[in-house]
Copies of this chain bind each other. A is one copy, B any other.
Amino acid sequence: MRRSTPWIFPLIALAVAVAPASAKPRDEAGLDARISADEMVGWMKRLAAEPSHVSSPASRGNAEWVRDQFQSWGWDARIETFQVLYPTPLSVSLERLTPTPFRATLTEAPVPGDGSSSKTKDQLPAYVAFQGDGDVTAPLVYVNFGMPEDYRALERMGVSVKGKIVIARYGVGWRGLKPKLAQDHGAIGCIIYSDPQQDGYGTDDVYPKGGGRPAQSFQRGSVADMPIYPGDPLTPGVGATENAKRLTRETAETVLKIPVLPISYGDARHFLEALEGSVVPAAFVGGLPITYHLGGTDAVKVHLAVKSEWSLKTIYDVVAVLKGSEQPDQWVLRGNHRDGWVFGAADPISGHVSLMAEAKAIGAQARAGQRPKRTLVYLSWDAEEPMLLGSTEWAETHADELKAKAVIYLNSDGNERGQFGAEGSHAFEHYVNQVIADVQDPETGVPVAQRLRASMQVRGAEPGAGERAAAQAKLAADPAHDLPIGALGSGSDYSAFIAHLGIPSINFSFGGEGNSGGVYHSAYDTWEHHLAFDDPGLAYSAALAKVGARLVTRIADADLPVQVYGNLAETVAGYRDEIKKLTASRRDAQQVQSRLLASGAYRLADDPTRPRADPTALSPVPDISFAPLDSAVTHLQKSAAAYDQALAARGPGLSKATRSQLFELQRRLEMTLARDPGLPGRPWYRNMLYAPGRFTGYGAKTLPGIREAIEEERWVDANRYMKLTAQTLEAYASGLDEAVRLIQGA
C-alpha cells in the first residue's frame, strides 16, 4: 500500500487483517507441487498442434479436449457456444502496378527446423479480421505508425491520404487504429507492415537463428473498432446467442469500411523503396535499408483486394465450475483464451496451460477435501483474437448473474520469461503484492516481488529514465510500499468484466525476457519457437500457475474482503493530479501556440524549401473546475483510510455473519464504478476509472471521461464527466463509510 496520506494504517496491521481467518489454511506448497512444467509442455504441444482460429477444426476440437481435461480433474465443465459474425478470407491480393509490377507473397513459408510451421494447410493467409473487404487501386502514401500525430505531421507537410491507399508500420498504437484513422482521413485502403526496427532484425536475430521476426512474416490481428465496443459487431451489449437480435454487417459500427491487409517487411520493401515524394521526417524512419519517402504520387500505384465470407460462425467457450463449500453464490472467475491466430503457442497457449495447471492442482485438493469456500469458474475462451468474442459474449449473456455473484475476474494471456507484471483494480494492488511475495522467480530463486522491486529501482536509476520510471523507482525503494500495478486498457478478455460490468479484474503475466513478440500473430508462434526462445521448459508458465492458483484460492477462501482501499485512493488521487497537470500544460501550450501562430513563427522556423502549413490551432482551454473531483478524492482518501484501519483493528474479531455480510457489501461496492451512460460516444464502456483510450486502443486512459474530453478539447464533456466521475467516487466512498459503520457497529 502507499503511505503518502498520514491516516493510512501501517502495512503490518493490514497484512494481519487480510489474512484468511480459516481454521485450516490451504496447503499452497501442495498446490505448487502439483504444478508440472513438463505436463504443461505436453499440453502446449497438443493445443498448438494445429491452427486454432475461429472456424478451424481445432477450434472445436481443442475445446472438447480442454473440457474433458477439466472434467477429469473433478470440475463441472461444459462447452457454451455463441454464433458470431466472423469473416473468413476467400481471397487476398496486393500488387504494385507502377513503376514495375510486383505481387506481394502474403504467405509465411515454413522455417527449417520448425515442424509446426510446415503445416500450412489450415493457416489463415495475410489477413486482419473485420476490415471492410474491397478492391481498390490508388497511389500509396507512407503514414509512419498511422497514429493521430502522424496525420498531423502529414497535414502540415501537405500530404493528403484522401482517395489513396496508406501503408503504416506496426507499433506505437494499437493495430486497429491504423486503418480506422486512415478511413477517417479518406483513405480507400490500408496496408500494415512489420518494420524490422520494431520486431525484426533490428531487435534480435531472426527466426530460426533467434527469436526475431523473419522477412516473410506478417502480423495478423483484429481491426474491429474496439474502442467503441468489443465482442461480436452484430450484438453490442447482449450475448450472441442463437436467437439474439442482430445488427447487419453494414450497420455494425465496429466493422471497417475499407480493405486492409498486413504484410511482411520482405514484401513491404518492394512498395516502400519505390515511393517518391518528400523524404520523411526523422520520426518516420524505420529499419529498412532505404530512404523512406512519403509517396502519394503516381510513382507507386497499388492494387489491394480482399474478399471474405461473412456468415455467422460458432465459437466454443469452455466453462468449468468448482462449487464453493460455503459461499457457492460468490464466484471467483479465472480466464485465458485458447484460440490462436495460427498455432498460438505463446499467444495464448503459454497462459492457457497455466490456467489448466491451476485447475488440475486445485481440483486435486478439492478431491482431497479442501474445496474452495467460494465457487471457482474457470473459463477457456474461444475467439479472443478477432475481438474478445468468447469472453464478451459470455459476459454479456450472463451479465445479471455476474453482477449478483462475481467477486473478481482474474485474466492471463500469452506469457514468457521475464519480470512479473499486473494491471487491474487498485483496491486489489496490495493483494497482488502479497501473492507475488510468496512465489519464487524460476531463474533467480528469489520471490517474484523481490525481483520486480529490484528491477523497478534499477530501471528508475538508469540515466535518462523517464519521469514515470523514476517515480516507480522511488516507490519501489521503500520496502513498506506496495509495488504499483498498472491500469487496465484493453487487449484481452478482462474487457467486458471490468470496463462494461465493473467487475474488478486483474490481468497478470511474466514477460520481457523472451521473444514471443518476434513471431506475434504469425505462423511461427509455434511450440518450437516458444520452447527455444520464449520460455524453455515453460518455467515461467509454471510460475504463472503458482501466482494464478494463489490469486484464485486466497480470495475464494478468504473470510474478510482482501481489498486495501488506501492503494486505490492514492492511485485515483495520482490520476487526478495528472489530469490537472495535463490541463495546465494544454493551457500553456495553447497560449504559446497562439502567440507563435500570430507572429508567423512556424513559417520562419521551417526550411523555406520545405514549407509546412501552420499547425491546427488548439482550442483555448476554458476554466474547468476540479472542485467536485477534489472533494470526491478527499472523501475517498478519508473513507479508505478509515475502512482499512477499522478492518485491521476489528476485522479478525467480527462474527462470521458480519464478515460474510461485509464481504458481500464490498463485492457489490466494486461494481458501482461502472455506470450509465458510460463514456461519451461509447456507452458500452461504463467504468469511470479505467478504459481503453479512444486513440490509444489497448493503452489505458484513467478517469477517461474527464481525461479524454480534455485531450480532445470537448470542454462540455470535461465538465459533465467531472461531475459524473465525482458522483461515482463519492458514492463509492459512501459505500466504504457504510462498511466502516458495519465493522464498528458489530
A interface residue numbers (CB < 8 A to B)? 149, 196, 201-206, 210, 212, 279, 282, 285, 287-291, 417-418, 443-444, 446, 450-451, 453-455, 457-459, 461, 463, 477, 513, 589, 592-593, 595-596, 599-605, 607-609
Tell whether, in the assembled complex, residue B609 and residue A444 are in contact, meaning their CB atoms are under 8 Å apart: no
Cα distance A283–B149 in the bound complex, in angstroms: 24
> Which chain B residues border A282 with CB–CB below 8 Å?
203
> Which chain B residues border A453 with CB–CB below 8 Å?
601
Tell whether, in the assembled complex, residue A605 and residue B202 are in contact, meaning their CB atoms are under 8 Å apart: no
A442 closest partner in B (C-beta)? B608
> Which chain B residues border A203 with CB–CB below 8 Å?
282, 285, 291
Tell whether, in the assembled complex, residue B461 and residue A589 are in contact, meaning their CB atoms are under 8 Å apart: yes
A599 closest partner in B (C-beta)? B454
> Which chain B residues border A285 with CB–CB below 8 Å?
202-203
Tell whether, in the assembled complex, residue A204 and residue B279 are in contact, meaning their CB atoms are under 8 Å apart: yes
- Please name 24 pairs of A and B residues whose Cβ atoms are closer than 8 Å in the assembled complex, sorted by A: A149-B463, A202-B285, A202-B291, A203-B282, A205-B291, A210-B291, A287-B289, A417-B607, A417-B609, A444-B608, A446-B604, A450-B604, A453-B601, A454-B596, A454-B599, A454-B600, A454-B602, A455-B604, A457-B592, A457-B605, A458-B605, A459-B605, A461-B593, A477-B595
> Which chain B residues border A602 with CB–CB below 8 Å?
454, 458
Cα distance A417–B592 in the bound complex, in angstroms: 27
Q: How far is the CB of A698 from chain B (nearest CB, A)?
A: 21
Which of A196, A201, A288, A453 has most chain B Cβ within 10 Å? A201
Tell whether, in the assembled complex, residue B607 and residue A444 are in contact, meaning their CB atoms are under 8 Å apart: no
Cα distance A602–B453 in the bound complex, in angstroms: 11
- Our pick among B288, B461, B595 for the contact of A592 (Cβ within 8 Å) is B461
> Which chain B residues border A446 with CB–CB below 8 Å?
604
> Which chain B residues border A604 with CB–CB below 8 Å?
444, 446, 450-451, 454-455
A451 closest partner in B (C-beta)? B604
Tell whether, in the assembled complex, residue B204 and residue A605 are in contact, meaning their CB atoms are under 8 Å apart: no
Cα distance A285–B149 in the bound complex, in angstroms: 25
Cα distance A513–B605 in the bound complex, in angstroms: 11
Q: How far is the CB of A610 from chain B (nearest CB, A)?
A: 8
Say whether, besides A454-B599, A457-B601, A206 and B608 are in contact (CB < 8 Å).
no
Cα distance A279–B201 in the bound complex, in angstroms: 10
Cα distance A451–B602 in the bound complex, in angstroms: 10
Tell whether, in the assembled complex, residue B513 and residue A607 are in contact, meaning their CB atoms are under 8 Å apart: yes
A473 closest partner in B (C-beta)? B592
> Which chain B residues border A451 with CB–CB below 8 Å?
604-605
Q: How far is the CB of A434 from chain B (nearest CB, A)?
A: 20
